[in-house]
Amino acid sequence: MYWEVGARHHTPHFHPYYQESMAIFSIDPVDLMEGSMPRRQVRLVEAWAELHQGGIDQGLATIAGRSAATPDRATQVRSHFMQHGIYRVQSFDILSAYTLRVRFNDETEQVINFEPVLAGELFGPLRDLKLFNQVRIDPEVHTLVWPNGSDFESATLHDWPDLVDDLVALARQWEAVPA
């Protein structure tokens, strides 16, 4: 996250990367300012930012309140955005329609019913159970992926119980947006 007061991007923003693409998104409101990436990834970045708005707001308050950029202060700011660990999906089992047991590198697991969030352009096609059941673990980023390009960040899967209500609310919004 960056806040370059008086610089080219004078508004708080962040830089997501996807393969060879890089973009710059403003934080409030979440909006693509510069750069490009595939439309699906733009929607995922927007959804991620909405889900993490509380942490982003805390980080902005921290950055705005600093008097000087010291290594200790920088570490504190980074910690606001690294509150969750780096999780990797190790394995999964299909338990029933749209429900997976997902195991992580920290030896925890989640049983996740994806059906309530299967909406919109990216996740809606997964309502086709044949497509949903083609889920795989991406060997590079160690998260669940589907042939249509749908995926969920490993940390989102790991923290699913804490995020599911927000994800369902987002899915309702995605369903309301015309394709």
Q: Which domains occur in the chain, in start order?
A: 13-81 (no CATH), 89-176 (3.30.2020)
Give the pLDDT confidence score for residue 23 in this predicted structure: 76
Arithmetic mean of pLDDT, 113-132: 94
- Mean pLDDT, rounded, for 93-118: 96
* Angle separating helix axes 53-65 and 71-81, nearest 10 degrees: 170
Average pLDDT estimate for 44-64: 68
Per-residue pLDDT at 108 exceeds 80 = yes
Is residue 27 pLDDT above 80, yes or no? no
The confidence band for 18, taking pLDDT boundaries of 50, 70 and 90, is confident
Give the model's pLDDT for residue 32: 81
DSSP assignment of the chain: -B--TTSSS-S-EE--EETTEEEEEETTTTEEEEEE--HHHHHHHHHHHHHTHHHHHHHHHHHHH-SS--HHHHHHHHHHH--S----EEEEEEEETTEEEEEETTS-EEEEE-GGG--HHHHGGGGSHHHHTT-EE-TTT-SEE-TTS-B--HHHHHTHHHHHHHHHHHHHHHHHS--
Is-above-0.75 flag for pTM?
Answer: no
pLDDT on residue 46: 81
Biggest CA–CA distance in the chain, Å, is: 55
Res. 111: pLDDT tops 90? yes
Instruction: Give CA separation, 40 vs 37, 121, 169, 179, in Å.
Output: 8, 8, 18, 12
Q: What was the pLDDT predicted at 97?
A: 97
In the predicted structure, residue 87 carries a pLDDT above the cut 50: yes
Q: Find the range with the poorest average confidence among 27-31, 129-133, 150-154.
A: 27-31
Residue pair 116/168 in contact by the 8 Å Cβ criterion: yes
| The pLDDT value given to residue 11 | 67
Which has the higher per-residue pLDDT, 10 or 82? 10
- pLDDT of res. 3: 40
Residues 81-92: what's their mean pLDDT?
A: 72
* Of residues 123 and 39, more confidently modeled: 123
What pLDDT, on a 0 to 100 scale, did the predictor assign at position 83? 47
